[in-house]
Structure 1
Amino acid sequence: MDAAARARVGDTGTMRVAGAHVLLTGATGDIGRHLASRLAQAGARVTLVARSRAPLDALAAQVGGHALPTDLTDRAALRGVVPAAESALGPVDVLVNNAGTETAGHLADLDADGLEELVALNLLAPAELCRQALPGMTARGRGHLVNISSLAGVGTVPGLAAYGATKAGLTHLTSGLRADLRGGPVGTLAVEIGPVASVMMGRIGSHPPAAAAFERLLQARALTMLDPDDVARAVVAAVESGRPTLRMPRRTAPLAAVTHAPRSLVRLALTGIHPSRARTAEHAP
């Protein structure tokens, strides 16, 4: 392992952000901007992905990152993201799938194109980018996959049925990746967060049933409105510490743990089964 690699990989396989090449999607959103700043401050080389070029270029100039304007719902464009990032800044050490959108409203009131775009951005794009990044990470013996999910994937509210379904899928995808990568050099992090002070939350609040549901949960202190910079700081710390799951606010952790209990039980039941052996058995004649 060369000196640059040793600077990125900790003694226990945890990922050091300093010197690492981090590919961040959804970079110009409320959480994305803070993630870009926190990662750059921690010494990472960042490739920033978002749809709109002007704000992306401005953010890249601010944090010293590389701008890669991309519409992640465009299949052809999506398939070239990791190769383009690696062509510019070298191998991707950390992939942060932060891009996402919401469609607040009754499912029957959504249009077909909007529903398809929601699934494409929130679930298909992260899965595809993980697929692109994994072979190189595995070959180099280092890497980290970070998927920014939501507590809406644990328990959703009126108006967020489709959004919650995509986030539940993203969390489950990350759990499956953790099983696939068990015992190997590539780590995973599932980030499940509650409402964040953001433009997206403002849009969700425009749907009265969703607004009423969040108001009740916030008044009951079952949830708190998160600061996007607090989320960004916690994500960077979780990557460096090697945590497999980050849940915010912390008071929601017991409820989320109940939802995750079947996944934990399955991991326990499969203790001792090495993923590479499972693949060999699967393809045996």
Structure 2
Amino acid sequence: MRVAGTHVLLTGATGDIGRRLATHLSDAAARLTLVARSTQPLEALAADLGAHAVSADLTDRDTLRSLIRDVEQAHGPVDVLVNNAGTETVGHLTDLTADDLEHLLALNLLAPVELCRQVLPGMTARGRGHLVNISSLAGVATFPGLATYGATKAGLTHFTSGLRADLRGGPIGTLAVEIGPVSSQMMSRIASHPPTAAAFDRVLGLRALTMLDPDAVARAVVAAVEDDQATLRMPRRAAPLATLAHAPRSVVRLALTGIR
């Protein structure tokens, strides 16, 4: 789907990847509504790009439930939804609180699923749209300390696959983005847990993974939307393992729907 002239709603717009996504979408001539919780950085970014800023906490139930309605009433129908907002928990399960788990599940899984649910009726009525969910290779193979984070990303990837089957043959596209470690503030926080840091040091030392540049990720996401790709996996060297892990899902979807 060509993004030029489309209205793109991007969540998590002030994060390391989010800021780059906003810039590259703006460069591609999209009209942007940027969503994040941090008001001042969000408004500064929106001003730089000529975008609309919506400060919102996606873990707040009432805010989440009215977000698409409020955005579309103020700025027009959403053509492309990019669910980029996310957070991490790192540590042993017993180190986490009930609030930690609730916040993680709400932001990483409930929010993107709910926003897709809200935006789909309008996209269907208009006969066009694209849904982009930023997931993680942690949903394929989870490192020590990332059990709960990996579970949310596995759920998001599986949801996107099922949604694609539901939308087969229609005008609405989906893109699941599965990425490895990215040079970011999130990665710095993850590396604060020694078992997790040791695991990443090992796979990076073996060159099984590489540290991704957030700008390269953003450029690849925009290109994947314009090329109507169903899946984007980075780094490329990890793609075969991810493809193998997804093989049962792909085989079943092909058998049931004829969609790869």
Question: Does TM, normalized by the shorter one, top 0.5?
Answer: yes
Cα distance in 1, alignment partners of residues 133 and 90 from structure 2: 21
2:83 partner amino acid: N
Match of 2:68 in 1: 82
1:34 has 2:20 as partner: yes
**Aligned mates of 1:187, 1:25 — CA distance in 2:** 18
Partner of residue 213, structure 1: 199
Query: Structure 1 CA distance, aligned partners of 2:224 and 2:211?
Result: 20
- What's the counterpart of residue 52 of structure 2? 66
Q: 1:158 to 1:83 in 2, by over 3 A?
A: same
Matches within 5 A, 1:166-181: 166-181=152-167
| 1:113 alignment partner in structure 2 | 99
> How far did 1:270 drift?
1.0
TM-score by length of 1: 0.90
1:3 aligns with none
Distance (Å, rounded) in 1 between the aligned partners of 2:48 and 2:239: 35
Q: Which residue of 2 aligns with 1:257?
A: 243
CA contact (8 A) 2:58 2:111 kept: yes
**Correspondence for 1:141 among 127, 142, 158:** 127
User: How far apart are residue 119 of structure 1 and its match?
Assistant: 0.3
- The letter for the 1-side match of 2:223 is A
Mapped pair 1:236 → 2:222:
yes
User: 1:280 matched to which residue of 2?
Assistant: none
Displacement of 1:267 = 1.4
- C-alpha distance after superposition, 1:200-241 (max 9, x if no partner): 000000000000000001010000000000000000000000
**1:103-136 alpha-carbon deviations (Å, 9 max, x no partner):** 1100111011011000000000000000000000
Measured on the aligned residues, the alpha-carbon RMSD in Å equals 0.9
Q: Following superposition of structure 1 onto structure 2, how do residues 160-199 of structure 1 map, counting pairs within 5 Å?
A: 160-199=146-185
What is the distance in 2 between the residues matched to 1:272 and 1:259? 20
* Distance in 2 separating the partners of 1:138 and 1:262: 29
Once the two structures are TM-superposed, the CA of residue 272 in structure 1 deviates from its matched residue by 5.5
2:186: which partner in 1? 200
Q: Secondary structure at the match of 1:58?
A: helix
Q: Distance in 1 between matches of 2:78 and 2:176?
A: 18
Matched, 1:124 2:110: yes
Alignment-mate amino acid for residue 200 of structure 1 = M
Counterpart of 1:246 (choices 224, 232, 242) is 232
Matched with 1:43 is 29
How far apart are residue 88 of structure 1 and its match?
2.3
Q: Secondary structure at the match of 1:80?
A: helix
CA contact (8 A) 2:165 2:257 kept: no
Distance 2:109 2:258 in 1: 30
Using the alignment, how far apart are the partners of 1:36 and 1:73 within structure 2?
A: 22
The corresponding residue for 1:159 is: 145
CA deviations on 1:10-41 (whole Å, 9 max, x unpaired) are: xxxxx111000000000000000000000001
> How far is 1:84 from its partner?
1.6
Ranges of 4+ aligned residues in structure 1 off by more than 6 Å? none
Q: Aligned partner of 2:178: which letter?
A: E
Could you tell me which runs of 5 or more consecutive residues in structure 2 were left unpaired when the two chains were aligned.
Answer: none
Unaligned 5+ segments in structure 1 are: 1-14, 274-285
The number of equivalent residue pairs is 259
| CA deviation string 1:54-79 (max 9, x = no partner) | 11101100111100000000010001
Following the alignment from structure 1 to structure 2, what is the Cα–Cα distance between the partners of residues 176 and 144?
15
SS in 2 for 1:270: helix
CA deviation after TM superposition for structure 1 residue 165, in Å = 0.1
